[in-house]
């Protein structure tokens, strides 16, 4: 932890010097050898956090697939197909995952309009929410009679990796911004239906959980890219953002 505080001052200066990113992603450059170690350390944190997020999204897909494959309710798989194909229902039922104080951006252009100092709260509110929600999910699944062990094991894996990602996220944001206060603490509200006796209600509750988790993780990965580019405009991530902007 002491290393994070030693590095945070240097990184803050680097980020400030690169704030023109929000006007033009190809701005500024830092070539001082004194910052090379800081850059490598921070790049490693970003890379690990992004990889963890991607792993969780893969586990999330497998988690829902396992739940469907271990369910004995006739026609549940067909219900899933109908659910996915009914886009009007998806828009109405799934797009309101959390009541965040700042709207989730739908693309890179919208993300780049977010004030730089809002990023810590944006990211930590989502990470805190899913870290707590995954614990609640695991508790509920364990209480459901007959819940398959493989489903519970995947929920455990998601919970562990979310906790790990939360720790990495806090380290990254502390390095760049210092301590963050007044973070929204909004827990996903769709888990109550998992306690219902109706199998279809439980299924749709898990579909919504799965969808909302993936959306927020993809949003966090986008925020990581922008922050990584702000810290080091020579990073491969920054070059990829430049390519997206010019396309």
221 marked ligand binding residue: yes
Residues 6 or more apart in contact with residue 39 via CB below 8 angstroms = 14, 30, 231, 232
Mapped onto helix, strand or coil, the DSSP state of residue 230 is helix
Please, which pLDDT band fits residue 102 given cuts at 50, 70 and 90? low
For a pLDDT cut of 90, what percent of the chain falls above it? 25
Q: State pLDDT tens for residues 114-165.
A: 777 888 888 998 899 999 999 999 999 999 888 999 999 999 999 999 999 9
**Distances, alpha carbon 17 to alpha carbons 2, 27, 39, 154, in Å:** 24, 9, 14, 43
pLDDT at residue number 16: 40
Average pLDDT score over residue span 71-97 = 56
pLDDT at residue number 28: 33
Tokens for 208, please give them: 């919504």
pLDDT at residue number 19: 43
Segments forming the whole domain that contains residue 78: 2-246
**Distances, alpha carbon 120 to alpha carbons 87, 117, 128, 169, in Å:** 32, 7, 12, 9
**CATH classification of the domain holding 179:** 1.20.1250.10
Q: State pLDDT tens for residues 30-70.
A: 333 335 556 778 888 999 999 999 999 999 999 988 988 87
Average pLDDT score over residue span 72-86 = 56
The rounded distance, in Å, linking the Cα atoms of 133 and 191 is 8
Give how many domains the chain has, as a whole number.
1
């Amino acid at each position: 932890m002491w290393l994070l505080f030693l590095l945070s001052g240097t990184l803050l200066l680097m980020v400030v010097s690169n704030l023109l990113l929000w006007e033009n992603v190809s701005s500024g450059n830092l070539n001082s050898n004194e910052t090379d170690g800081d850059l490598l350390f921070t790049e490693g944190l970003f890379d690990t956090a992004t990889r963890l997020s991607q792993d969780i999204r893969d586990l999330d897909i497998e988690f829902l697939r396992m739940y469907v494959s271990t369910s004995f309710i006739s026609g549940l798989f067909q219900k899933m197909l109908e659910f996915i194909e009914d886009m009007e229902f998806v828009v109405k039922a799934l797009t309101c995952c959390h009541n965040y104080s700042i709207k989730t951006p739908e693309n890179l252009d919208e993300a780049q309009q977010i004030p730089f100092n809002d990023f810590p709260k944006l990211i930590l509110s989502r990470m805190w929410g899913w870290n707590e929600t995954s614990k609640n999910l695991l508790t509920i699944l364990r209480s459901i009679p007959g819940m398959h062990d493989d489903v519970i094991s995947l929920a455990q894996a998601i919970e562990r990796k979310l906790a790990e990602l939360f720790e990495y996220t806090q380290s990254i944001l502390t390095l760049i911004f210092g301590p963050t206060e007044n973070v929204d603490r909004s827990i996903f509200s769709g888990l109550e239906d998992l306690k219902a006796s109706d199998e279809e209600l439980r299924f749709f509750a898990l579909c919504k959980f799965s969808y909302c988790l993936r959306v927020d993780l993809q949003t966090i990965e986008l925020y990581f890219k922008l922050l990584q580019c702000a810290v080091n405009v020579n990073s491969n991530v920054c070059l990829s953002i430049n390519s997206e902007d010019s396309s």
